[in-house]
A and B are shown apart, each in its own frame.
Chain A
Amino acid sequence: MDNIAGTKSSLTWAVHISVVLLVALWLFPTLGLFVSSFRTADQISSSGWWNAMFPTEQTVQLRAGGRDAATQEGDLFVVEGNLLEDDEESPGTGVTLSRYGVSSRDVSAYAVGETAEFGDGEKLTLNADGSYRYESPEEPGRRGQRVFVTAEVPPDFTLANYDQVLFSGNSTDSMAKAFFNTLTVTVPATIIPIVIAAFAAYALAWMEFPGRALLIACVVGLLVVPLQLALIPLLKLHLGIGIGKGYLGTWLAHTGFGLPLAIYLLRNYMVGLPRDIIENAKVDGATDFQIFTKIILPLSFPALASFAIFQFLWTWNDLLVAKVFLIDATGETTVMTNQITELLGTRGGNWEILATAAFVSIAVPLAVFFAMQRYLVRGLLAGSVK
């Protein structure tokens, strides 16, 4: 609506800037998670993810060589080597050291190149490239002298987090099992309500029978019934008839909870289909069943797709239904959302694991979202009661 009545708003640039700000604000949180999932634990805890592209300053504890590496020169025991190359904990060989210390109370007491004197005549000289010379009048212990170094570590991105989360098989961190469990819950819970709802929607849209208006009103009413109400009675029912906690009960529950929206969406769409087509088919002798499968279903594809996306997102992202109807004491059937809430408890500070696990769980819905956004929007517009 730019050129209404021949005026172009002079505020266009302000609109552009506001939209950029708004989008940035909305994207920023997700971006943080995404970037964090590719950083190492050390990187995450030493700088905010927005600094991921810049070198970070980390303080690491390393050890000089011990008794085995020592050589005797006169009455002195001497160890020479390179901290960055020899130590397993080294942040890498390419980094530059700036300061170091030999006591945890002052980890940056000396600049590199300076000689630290401490203990009983011990001396340590550390250079920026990690090479050092350690002298001691007594024979060093089996493990060498502790050295705390402050290093400029270049940006470091890794796929190790994904490896850990997806393939390690570590039972607390692993999302692989939860991923397949989620998939197992989601697919039948998406397909079955569509089939049931499509038939009902056709009856409510195109068949004449007494009580139709009342049934439609009931469906609209059930749209808003909170599923919290259903938890205990249905759990009791499932336990009573022997389904117990498991996939079957979860599929049935998701089917029941998804049906009102499915019927409502599909009926609204089917009512809008042209009456002529259906009446012509009837005149030609088609039965209702044939009309439904050969004409209505193919024409309703957009509405079916809309609902399928809704139901997929809802079942994939669900935590409550899974916790109540699926996950039993053994935890074998855990889903991703549940796995993440548990990780929040056990791995509260390990952002590399948390971020990666969360990103694994939101990647599939995001892909579906971007691929099928058109249908999602259409479904939203049809689904809100006007």
Chain B
Amino acid sequence: MHPALLGLVTIVIGVGGCIAYFYFSNLFLDKVLFPAKGPNAGRNINRANQIRPWLFLFPAMFALGLYLGYPVVETLRLSLTDRDAGGAFVGLANYNQMLSEPKFWEAMRNNMLWLIVVPAASTAFGLLAAQLTDRIGWGNLAKSLVFMPMAISFVGASVIFKLIYDARPEDSAQIGILNAVWMQFEGGFGSVLFLQLLPTLILLAFAAIVGYVVYIFVAPFTSGQGKKGFWNLVLTAIVVLGGLYLVWASLSSVLGVWTTDFPYGQPQNWLTLPFYNNFFLMVVLIWIQTGFAMVILSAALRGIPEETVEAAIVDGANPFQIFFKIKVPQIMPTIVVVWTTITLVVLKVFDIVFAMTNGQWETQVLANYMFDKLFRANDWGVGSASAIVIMILVSPILVWNVIQARKEMR
């Protein structure tokens, strides 16, 4: 049968079957099993109403159990068995083998890089875009254009960015914009300005902003007015440590900018430069996710009560103080939501790496490592073990989400 026709038939059977199931099971319950008439009418109605929710829930629960619940258990079991030995139980041998592979540690290291850079950059850009577009007349148009990459597939985005990173031999015209720009630099004054002075300024500004944020968090403690709760202390400690690390990293990058010899005049294969190519891949995901962060944060910014901002202005706060001290603290819960959502996307990132480098040149990530193990090496044990690693990385967010959802329902 032609697949399109098959699809149509499936829609009819699937949708029709679902509706028929719900309709007839209800009918059966009300008319045959517990009819609402006769001597036991009252009791029957109550009984029917006790059973009905489960009729409504059954297909969904069945599908969820089979397609998400069962695989978790089964993957855990597979990760402890050996497929070649006929599924014999081998304990943690698969994990041992995985941990001894350099490719796995490369994937872990890259995943950690992705986990730090992509949510941070997407949220920061999203917050910036939300704040900027909030004040101007054509903000909605600007927003929908920044939001647009959300509709583009990871594979499509990979093609788009491969064109940007494209490299041609030195003597022919560069068609990738990055190399075309790169070839403009030849070590003269312009190069110093754009490749050394400008990055230095940006890095210093970044360090200053991070330092300012750290200062905001520390200030209540030094002046002795802060809330002294345990979690507050932990949060502050994390922010301070992370902030100091970022300040240190950006300052040492400044040093790097001034000591590196740039290979001027040679087109670069950006995707094969070890370590830095990871960032060129991350750019793709940041480009896609910024719109998402912007939409959510923009709604949160709109929800801030105007009185708080007005009061701050009356008290003489400057725009930066208003943004960092009044607005950001009020939308902090939303920032956390955006951050965790993007973190989930990052943990599962597969298509971008698969399409652009396929994990070569030290760009492997966990999801692609797992795909490699499953379908190229045909090693289901190690593949399942790496899937479990992804699950373990996700589980803190899972627990957090469930706790939040339960809080909200009370």
B319 in contact (CB, < 8 A): yes
**Chain B residue with minimal CB distance to A224?**
B398
Q: How far is the CB of A253 from chain B (nearest CB, A)?
A: 7
CB neighbors of B among A2-32 (8 A)? 2, 4-5, 7, 9, 11-12, 15-16, 18-19, 22-23, 26-30, 32
Among A44, A255, A365, contact of B175 (Cβ-Cβ < 8 Å): A44
CB neighbors of A among B42-88 (8 A)? 49-50, 52-54, 56-57, 59-61, 63-64, 66-72, 74-75, 78
Given A29-B287, A187-B7, A260-B68, A23:B145 Cβ within 8 A: yes
Q: How far is the CB of B238 from chain A (nearest CB, A)?
A: 21
B270 in contact (CB, < 8 A): no
Q: How far is the CB of A219 from chain B (nearest CB, A)?
A: 7
Q: Could you say which residues of chain B place their CB within 8 Å of the CB of A274?
A: none
A234 in contact (CB, < 8 A): yes
Among B53, B70, B78, B174, contact of A203 (Cβ-Cβ < 8 Å): B53
Chain B 345-358 interface mask (CB, 8 Å, partner A; 1/0): 00110110011000
Complex Cα distance A223/B147, Å?
A: 23
B155 in contact (CB, < 8 A): yes
Q: Could you say which residues of chain A place their CB within 8 Å of the CB of B387?
A: 226, 228-229, 231-232
Taking a contact as CB atoms under 8 Å apart, the answer to whether A30 and B148 are in contact is yes
Q: Interface residues of A toward B: which range?
A: 35 or more
Q: How far is the CB of A144 from chain B (nearest CB, A)?
A: 27
Tally A-B pairs: CB < 8 A.
Answer: 351
From B50, B67, B134, residue with most partner A Cβ within 10 Å? B67
Given A192-B11, A320-B350, A337-B153, A29:B161 Cβ within 8 A: yes
Among A28, A192, A226, contact of B348 (Cβ-Cβ < 8 Å): A226
CB neighbors of B among A140-189 (8 A)? 180-181, 183-185, 187-188
Taking a contact as CB atoms under 8 Å apart, the answer to whether A48 and B177 are in contact is yes
B314 in contact (CB, < 8 A): yes
Among A212, A232, A368, contact of B374 (Cβ-Cβ < 8 Å): A232
Taking a contact as CB atoms under 8 Å apart, the answer to whether B26 and A288 are in contact is yes
Q: Could you say which residues of chain B place their CB within 8 Å of the CB of A217?
A: 402, 405-406
Taking a contact as CB atoms under 8 Å apart, the answer to whether A26 and B146 are in contact is yes
Complex Cα distance A219/B54, Å?
A: 15
Chain A 320-344 interface mask (CB, 8 Å, partner B; 1/0): 1001100000000100010011001
Complex Cα distance A44/B176, Å?
A: 10
Q: Could you say which residues of chain A place their CB within 8 Å of the CB of B147?
A: 373, 377
Q: Could you say which residues of chain B place their CB within 8 Å of the CB of A366?
A: 148, 151-152
A225 in contact (CB, < 8 A): yes
Among A222, A288, A386, contact of B68 (Cβ-Cβ < 8 Å): A222
A69 in contact (CB, < 8 A): no
Complex Cα distance A320/B387, Å?
A: 14
A103 in contact (CB, < 8 A): no
Chain A 204-242 interface mask (CB, 8 Å, partner B; 1/0): 100111001101111111111111111111101100000
Complex Cα distance A234/B394, Å?
A: 20
Among A185, A195, A212, A380, contact of B292 (Cβ-Cβ < 8 Å): A380
Taking a contact as CB atoms under 8 Å apart, the answer to whether A32 and B160 are in contact is yes
Among A181, A220, A368, A384, contact of B151 (Cβ-Cβ < 8 Å): A368
Taking a contact as CB atoms under 8 Å apart, the answer to whether A19 and B64 are in contact is no
B99 in contact (CB, < 8 A): no
Interface SS, B side: helix
Taking a contact as CB atoms under 8 Å apart, the answer to whether A230 and B68 are in contact is yes
A287 in contact (CB, < 8 A): yes
A128 in contact (CB, < 8 A): no
Q: Could you say which residues of chain A place their CB within 8 Å of the CB of B60?
A: 196-197, 199-200, 259, 263
Q: Could you say which residues of chain A place their CB within 8 Å of the CB of B390?
A: 226, 228-229
Q: How far is the CB of A290 from chain B (nearest CB, A)?
A: 9
Q: Could you say which residues of chain A place their CB within 8 Å of the CB of B214?
A: none
Q: How far is the CB of B133 from chain A (nearest CB, A)?
A: 6
Taking a contact as CB atoms under 8 Å apart, the answer to whether B380 and A232 are in contact is yes
Given A22-B142, A47-B175, A196-B18, A384:B11 Cβ within 8 A: no
Q: List 16 A-B contacts (CB under 8 A).
A: A15-B135, A26-B145, A28-B177, A32-B160, A47-B175, A48-B173, A48-B175, A199-B60, A221-B401, A236-B74, A259-B64, A351-B166, A355-B159, A370-B144, A377-B299, A384-B341
In the complex, given contacts A228-B387, A229-B388, what are 20 additional A-B residue pairs having Cβ atoms less than 8 angstroms apart? A1-B135, A22-B142, A26-B287, A29-B157, A184-B3, A184-B4, A188-B11, A196-B60, A215-B57, A224-B394, A227-B348, A229-B72, A233-B75, A251-B10, A319-B155, A355-B163, A358-B156, A369-B150, A376-B150, A384-B296
| Contacts from B to A (Cβ < 8 Å) | 3-4, 6-7, 10-11, 14-15, 18-19, 22-23, 26, 30, 49-50, 52-54, 56-57, 59-61, 63-64, 66-72, 74-75, 78, 128-129, 132-136, 139, 142, 144-164, 166, 168, 172-177, 180, 287, 290-292, 295-296, 299, 306, 309-310, 313-314, 319, 333-334, 337-338, 341, 344, 347-348, 350-351, 354-355, 367, 370-371, 374-375, 380, 383-384, 387-388, 390-391, 394, 397-398, 401-402, 404-406, 408-409
| Contacts from A to B (Cβ < 8 Å) | 1-2, 4-5, 7, 9, 11-12, 15-16, 18-19, 22-23, 26-30, 32-33, 36, 44-50, 180-181, 183-185, 187-188, 191-192, 195-197, 199-200, 202-204, 207-209, 212-213, 215-234, 236-237, 247-248, 251-253, 255-257, 259-260, 263, 287-289, 292, 313, 316-320, 323-324, 333, 337, 340-341, 344, 351, 354-355, 357-358, 361-362, 365-366, 368-370, 373, 376-377, 380-381, 384-386
Pairs of residues from A and B, 3 with the lowest C-beta to C-beta distance, nearest first: A256-B67, A317-B153, A200-B60
